[in-house]
Amino acid sequence: MANTPEDRIPVIVGVGEIVDRPKEITEGLEPLDLLELALRRAEQDAGARLLGEVQSLDVVNFLSWRYRDPEKLLAQRLGVSPAHCYYGPVGGESPIRYIHEAAKRIASGECMVAAICGAEAQSTVTKAERAGVKLPWTPFAHDVEEPKRGAAFQKPLAVKLGVFRPVTVYPFYEAASSAHWGQTPREAMAESGTLWSRYSEAAMQNPNAWLKRRYAPEEITTPTADNRLIAWPYNKLMVANPSVNMGGALLLTSLAKARALGIAEDKLIYPLGGASAEEPRDYLLRDQFYESHPQNAVLNAVMDLAGGDGKKFDAIELYSCFPCVPKMARRTLGLGADVQPTVTGGLTFFGAPLNTYMTHAACAMVRRLRDGASLGLLYGQGGFVTKHHALVVSKTPPREALAQETSVQGEADRNKRAVPEFVTEANGRGKVESFTVLYGRGGDVEHGVVMLRIEDDRRTLARIPARDSASLEHLLNMDRTPVGSIGEITMAADGTPEWRVT
């Protein structure tokens, strides 16, 4: 830090959160309200007047309500005209990216005060739709295009078979990675339950969490009427919970300005650096599903900032939309099964305000560092294990200037192996690369889906009809993974490949 001017050292100085649980549906706060309130709470937390000087404003994409230029509407509410005023695309990693980019702007002298915020009001919106209640909010902008999400980037066969949403795609990583690690499905399920129980314990301690109680591992992994199977092996308590009303915000400035404003030194949290990388958005254009090269590259880069040892982080947030993500991440970081993976509570239990969970995780991390932790890791991801961004934050000032170049895409791409050709028609033998089984709301099997390697190592997807109990039983064997097993592919009358175990 000795050679870096204090006006080029970024610090997080304020965090603010709001949870809205209205007694009446029409009393629910709209996302713009939640954004503004979270920012004002962040300013109050900093203990200094900063909102009137915001020069960089990032608003995380929200899906519960649609506005035209929400970032400009928010800036108007704050009475500012920031040079950088941005409303981003869909992506669970985006809050960490925005915090990191804001810190880089301060480090480069591009701005002096930055704000990052996100909000969702999905709980209120869903209740209003079900009750037929009109919300007294800013009119919904029907002329604004809906943001592109998973199905827009996937192959028609994936959409036809129902494996184009997060809850039906992440199971491919779950099955492939656990098989690669030599786990039986039963062992993999037990690891998921134990890990998720730890997330619930953290949520129980977080005053801003949506669900504030500990769930035992077996409660999480056992299907019940209230914890129904959605896509094997994931039950409702193993997936993100988007039906929440939440807002979160962070304020950053330079060390020089923080000190000039008299902000207490013990409130200052320093971004030390981070990294980002991506996979193709079409998940079938990936070489395999037992690891993520971008995830590995990003986590290895941030470990380098901690002296090459993941155990140096004494506060960690591993993104938790589905268990496979933190399970892969903790192995890359060299952390054991006893890892404490969250300071927040996870997307199931704290709640998942869609793209902005990591805004709340960053707020929780700041509080944890202020309370005594020394080095924190914030790892977020978006899409289908697609976009990855991690940031290291510290109670201690940095030893050198914040790096401006933070992409590790080259490293991720160097580790990528040949991607198999994808075909939509196949006959003959097919070896299971990964799989899932989709369930209806009543708990009945809709159909199974297998990802297969066929002749010449090409890849396809195939359906297992609900009537094929033998093949489904083979997939759902808890004591032996079906990954690597071989069966017969035929083309159904509707032109869809079907697979049966042989």
pLDDT of residue 36: 98
Cβ-contact 481, 182 below 8 angstroms: no
pLDDT of residue 254: 98
What is the rounded average pLDDT of the residues 64-91? 97
- Nearest partner of 34 among 104, 124, 154, judged by Cα: 124
Cβ-contact 358, 95 below 8 angstroms: yes
Please give the distance of CA 220 from its chain centroid, rounded to a whole number.
20
Phi/psi of residue 87, nearest 5 degrees:
-115, 115
Q: pTM (2 decimals)?
A: 0.97
If you average pLDDT over every residue of the chain, what do you get? Answer: 97
Domains recognised in the chain with CATH numbers: 9-131+134-139+242-415 (3.40.47.10), 428-501 (2.40.50.840)
Please give the distance of CA 250 from its chain centroid, rounded to a whole number.
18
pLDDT of residue 3: 83
Tens of pLDDT, residue by residue over 26-69, are 999 999 999 999 999 999 999 999 999 999 999 999 999 999 99
- Is the confidence at residue 150, as pLDDT, over 80? no
Cβ-contact 379, 267 below 8 angstroms: no
Instruction: Give percent of the chain above pLDDT 70.
Output: 99
Between CA 148 and CA 163 the distance in angstroms is: 16
For β-strands 245-254 and 270-278, DSSP reports them as: unpaired
Instruction: Please list, in sequence order, all residues whose beta carbon lies within 8 angstroms of the beta carbon of residue 94, skipping any fewer than 6 positions away.
Output: 60, 61, 88, 355, 358, 380, 382, 387, 389
One DSSP character per residue, 265-296 reads GGG-BEEEEEEEEE--SSGGGSS-SS--HHHH
Between CA 245 and CA 64 the distance in angstroms is: 9
Helix H or strand E segment including 119: strand 113-121
| Cis bond before residue 139 (omega within 30° of 0) | no
Confidence of residue 152 (pLDDT cuts 50, 70, 90): confident
Between CA 344 and CA 355 the distance in angstroms is: 15
Tens of pLDDT, residue by residue over 408-461, are 999 999 999 999 999 999 999 999 999 999 999 999 999 999 999 998 999 999
Instruction: Give percent of the chain above pLDDT 90.
Output: 97
Confidence of residue 148 (pLDDT cuts 50, 70, 90): confident
Q: Partners of 436 in the beta sheet? A: 449
- Is the confidence at residue 147, as pLDDT, over 90? no
Question: What three-state secondary structure class fits 140?
Answer: coil
- Is the confidence at residue 99, as pLDDT, over 70? yes
